[in-house]
Amino acid sequence: MGLNCAIDGPSGAGKSTIAKELARRLGFVYVDTGALYRSIGYYAVSKGADTASADEIVPLLGDISVELKYVDGAQRVMLNGEDVSDKIRTPEISMAASNVSAIPAVRDFLLNLQRDIAGKNDIIMDGRDIGTVILPSAEVKVFMTASPEERARRRYEELKAKGQDVNYDDILSDINQRDYNDSHRETAPLKKADDAIELDTTSMSIDEVVGAIEKLITAEQRKESAPFRTIPAFRRWFYAVLRFIVWIGFSIVFNLKYEGTENLPEHGSVILAGNHRTWFDPILIAIRVKFISAYMAKAELFDHFPLNVIIKAVHGFPTRRNSADVSALTRAENMIRNGYNLTIFPEGTRSKDGKIGRAKSGVAFIASKCGVPVYPVGISFKSKLHFRSKITVRFGKPISPAELHINSMSKADLRAAGELIMSNIAGLVDEDA
């Protein structure tokens, strides 16, 4: 059984270009499903059939043989023994492919072929219903999109480079029409799979898109070779009881309000990143998260008894601030892989006035290294705490590894990812707090 990556998205999003480059870099088999449908559309057009009519298309299927072959390292599409790789890339055939793909018999005709290839190889497969219909169990699912104008521009430049006489407005009109057809057809309409990562490529380069998806795939490969563990049930049960008791205690002392709890992780091994206001911030976050967390704490705290004992008891471990503490980063990665969440405060130090500071590079580094999502958390309260002070804790939507756009471990990439995380945290904090 191979590792399967499903890339879905609308016409002209660049799926094929990205999928081919990913397959080349990773040594995967590339399955161009669009080419399969285009081949059937091309055959139907060559026979003068109405591509929107099932009555006219279905009888032709018995005469069609489609194969994907590699010639001099490039994938070629063979239709009844003829290489039609270039002939199927015109706007007319694009529309024909959209029409025939809405016919259930056509989809059934190609389904077994696609699944057979996926079951035997590590593959990259792109199309419009790969993650929802063809390969619903694919380990990696991506929904690539871009604005219609950007997709039309890309297609226009691609066809012009091939010497074809095309008009931008006509291509834009075709794309808008195809978007409508693909998303409104009764059979396998274009839509994002529930567990797919959405990637808007409008302002991204090819290398950036490839890098983002490659990171998702390599993270999945790491999980297969060194799977994340699950904390034993009895420890999770004890933690749940303790968490409830602490919640009651804190609710008596403070007026606690939690928002965005629907965004809480459904499993362990994620990063919870929040702004840092008080020494008990980790407790405020942990109260509502049902999976045990580990914590980074400044090394100086471990010099004081009994504070060091307490911190270690709640899975805290030291990190030296203002330096690249490799041992702390390694410990953080190990905790995540052992089933713990990692609660971290990217600013590295508490904010006395509530203003959001800049993130250290550690949170982005760990998220990228482990291939796990970052859940932003905003903690808000007035400048001074007292009995029954109102404290609001907001959980934001997770930031996927792909959204962090860390294509290398360069300072620039890590800095940009850190700024993105802090921006999401800032959006959860009350401005007047």
CA 310 to chain centroid: 36
Strands (E), 25-113: 29-32, 66-71, 74-79, 82-83
SS3 292: coil
The confidence score (pLDDT) of residue 301 equals: 81
Contacting residues for 170 by C-beta, under 8 A, at least 6 apart: 91
Gap between the Cα atoms of 79 and 85, Å rounded = 9
The secondary structure of 344-357 as a DSSP string is E-TTSS--SS----
**Domain residue spans of the chain:** 4-225, 233-426
Instruction: Report the CATH superfamily, name and number, of domain 4-225.
Output: P-loop containing nucleotide triphosphate hydrolases (3.40.50.300)
Please list, residue by residue across 390-428, b when 16 or more beta carbons sit within 10 angstroms of its beta carbon and e when fewer do.
ebbbbbbebbbbbbbbbbeeeeebbeebbebbbebbeeb
Helix (H, G, I), strand (E, B) or coil at 300: helix
Check: CB of residue 413 under 8 Å from CB of residue 212. no
pLDDT, position 81: 92
Amino acid 99 reads N
List CB contacts of 86: < 8 A, sequence separation 6 or more.
162
4-8, strands of its sheet edge to edge: 29-32, 123-127, 4-8, 140-145, 197-200
- Nearest to 61, CA basis, from 116, 115, 105: 105
pLDDT of residue 407: 63
Please give the pLDDT value at position 215.
86
CA distance 38 to 323: 55
Instruction: Note down pLDDT in tens along the chain; length 433 residues.
Output: 578 999 999 988 889 899 989 988 887 888 888 889 999 999 999 999 999 999 999 999 999 988 877 776 677 889 999 999 999 989 899 999 989 988 999 988 988 778 877 877 788 999 888 999 889 989 999 999 999 999 999 889 988 998 888 899 999 999 999 888 888 877 778 889 988 999 999 988 899 999 899 888 887 876 665 566 778 888 888 888 999 999 999 999 999 999 999 999 888 889 999 999 998 999 999 999 988 999 988 888 888 888 888 888 888 888 877 666 778 888 888 899 888 999 999 988 888 777 888 888 888 888 888 878 899 999 999 878 899 999 999 999 998 877 777 766 778 888 888 999 999 999 999 976 5
Q: Which helix (H) or strand (E) holds 341?
A: strand 341-344
SS3 state of residue 8: strand
pLDDT at 182: 85
3-state helix, strand, coil in the chain (%, to 5): 50, 15, 35
Task: Kindly list the distances between the CA atom of residue 82 and the CA atoms of 43, 117, 184, 348, in Å, as whole numbers in the listed order.
Answer: 11, 21, 33, 63
* DSSP per-residue codes, 183-237: HH-SSS-----TTPEEEE-TT--HHHHHHHHHHHHHHHHHHHHSPPP---HHHHH
Radius of gyration of the chain (CA): 26
| Interatomic CA distance for residues 421 and 415, integer angstroms | 10
Distance of CA 380 to the CA centre of its chain: 29
Amino acid identity at 72: D
- The answer to whether 107 touches 101, Cβ cutoff 8 Å, is yes
